[in-house]
Structure 1
């Protein structure tokens, strides 16, 4: 049973190398009246702001993000230039398996 007073929840997915783009989409989605959940911790060695995490912590973050996908009413994939790494691809398969509505943002056009 859904609450008609609860705004829709969107989960943002994408490579953490695109955290600036993810933040931009989060702002747009929030201004559109949606509750946004997204990755918050960058665990990549490529990022100057990334945390150095062990495999156990990375696995826990993956589980947490899958919970965000389950909680969401819609899953939005932020994929500048169409890029999706292995983790993001796995999240896409997971969201599709759950039957979640999907939106793909590649920077040039939006796909449903």
Structure 2
């Protein structure tokens, strides 16, 4: 008798989400200059019954936690890692804003490499279109 094939971590996560009857999870990506637009997208997606995760902090705005340049750079790296984890967790990606910078472009490429559907608040900026 053969053993069933082992599930990938992604398949295990999808199975667990199904067993828990979780709503779809959407991660919002984009430049933090569009935080207001991200907040609006959050409201629309939540109203549609989805769990929403997004950047919670605009590193460009002054804050005591990023006043030291060395610590701020380390924090930026950790927040980037955390955001990629949010992308892995999500079922889909929503890119907010009418501009795609290098960081957002990398997030889109990462999401697509994982097979995640990617939507845009401004479809004309889709770098893959």
Q: Same fold (TM over 0.5)?
A: yes
TM-score in terms of structure 2 length: 0.74
TM-score in terms of structure 1 length: 0.84
- The equivalences for 1:45-56 within 5 A come to 47=61, 52=66, 54-56=72-74
2:94 match: 76
What is the DSSP-based 3-state SS (H/G/I as helix, E as strand, rest coil) of the residue aligned with 1:41?
A: coil
* Regions of 4+ moved over 6 Å: none
1:33 match: 49
Structure 1: 5+ residue runs without aligned partners? none
- 1:3 to partner: Cα distance: 1.5
Structure 2: 5+ residue runs without aligned partners? 1-14
Change (3 A) 1:57 1:90: same
* Aligned with residue 43 of structure 1, among 37, 44, 59: 59
Instruction: Specify which structure has the higher proportion of strand.
Output: 1
1:24 partnered with 2:32: no
Larger Rg over CA atoms? 2
Instruction: Specify which structure has the higher proportion of helix.
Output: 2
CA-based RMSD of the aligned residues comes to 2.2
1:105 match: 121
* Aligned with residue 111 of structure 2, among 58, 71, 95: 95
2:81 match: 63
**Structure 2 Cα separation of the partners of residues 6 and 72 of structure 1:** 11
- 1:104 to partner: Cα distance: 1.1
For these two proteins, the number of residue pairs brought into alignment is: 105
